[in-house]
Amino acid sequence: MDEPEIVTLIVRHRVKAGQQPAYEKWLRRTTQIASTYPGHLGVNVIRDADRFVCVLRFVGTGELQCWLDSSERRHLIEEVQPLLADGDQIQVEANREFWFTPTANEPPARWKQACITFWVILPLSLVVPLLWQPLFARLPLLGGYFLSNALITLSIVLLVVYLFMPRVTALFANWLKPR
């Protein structure tokens, strides 16, 4: 069985001065609506002063196209246009490497990506197993070799993908930019 084709939609908006509160309200509503579409896997928002980068993931191109072609999205974009300085800029990525591409047109050097990934995963790989130990001690079934490693790995992956990498890449955006 083939793995589903995960597609990433990157939306870049530069908001006009003084319009950030209205834009953020619009963005909350828009991400909630997008999450109701079939195949929606999640969204990350990266904010840098007046620039917002939204990274939306869908299980396939058909599901993404359904969202892009929807009348709801079309109305939402018409509604937000007066708040934007540069209009609605979208980019579709068919690969899974979305951590390092949203803020730059060209991804940073691989060694920089490896450094950031290492520094995010290292502390998690040291701390997460310790956090699971009390539960493994109480429930020996969960403490077995395979199941304990699966739970630890799942915890690390979810923390990296949904919590830490979006924040760390935003924090180190200037360093990650290609020269």
How many domains in the chain? 2
pLDDT at 1 over 50: no
pLDDT, tens only, 142-167: 888 888 988 998 899 888 877 888 78
Confidence class of residue 65 from pLDDT cuts 50, 70 and 90? very high
Asked if 79 contacts 147 with a C-beta cutoff of 8 angstroms, the reply is no
The model scores a pTM over 0.75: no
CA contacts within 13 A on the Cβ side of 152: 23
55 and 125 co-located in one domain: no
22 and 74 co-located in one domain: yes
115 and 56 co-located in one domain: no
Q: Cα dist. 20→37, 53, 162 in Å? A: 26, 13, 24
Domain end residue (candidates: 60, 93, 126) = 93
82 and 26 co-located in one domain: yes
The answer to whether residue 1 is domain-embedded is: no
122 and 56 co-located in one domain: no
pLDDT, tens only, 26-56: 999 999 999 999 989 888 888 877 888 888 8
The answer to whether residue 101 is domain-embedded is: no
Residue 42: per-residue pLDDT: 83
pLDDT, tens only, 66-107: 999 999 999 999 999 999 998 888 888 775 555 555 444 566
Nearby residues of 62 by Cβ (< 8 Å), 6 or more positions away: 39
The answer to whether residue 102 is domain-embedded is: no
57 and 85 co-located in one domain: yes
Residue 92: per-residue pLDDT: 85
User: Which of the pair, 25 or 172, is modelled with greater confidence?
Assistant: 25
Residue 98: per-residue pLDDT: 52
- The parent domain of residue 145 ranges over 110-176
**What is the domain-level CATH number for residue 14?**
3.30.70.100
83 and 139 co-located in one domain: no
119 and 69 co-located in one domain: no
Please compute the mean of the pLDDT values over residues 2-13 and round it to a whole number.
78
The answer to whether residue 147 is domain-embedded is: yes
Distance between CA 59 and CA 138 in Å, rounded?
Answer: 37
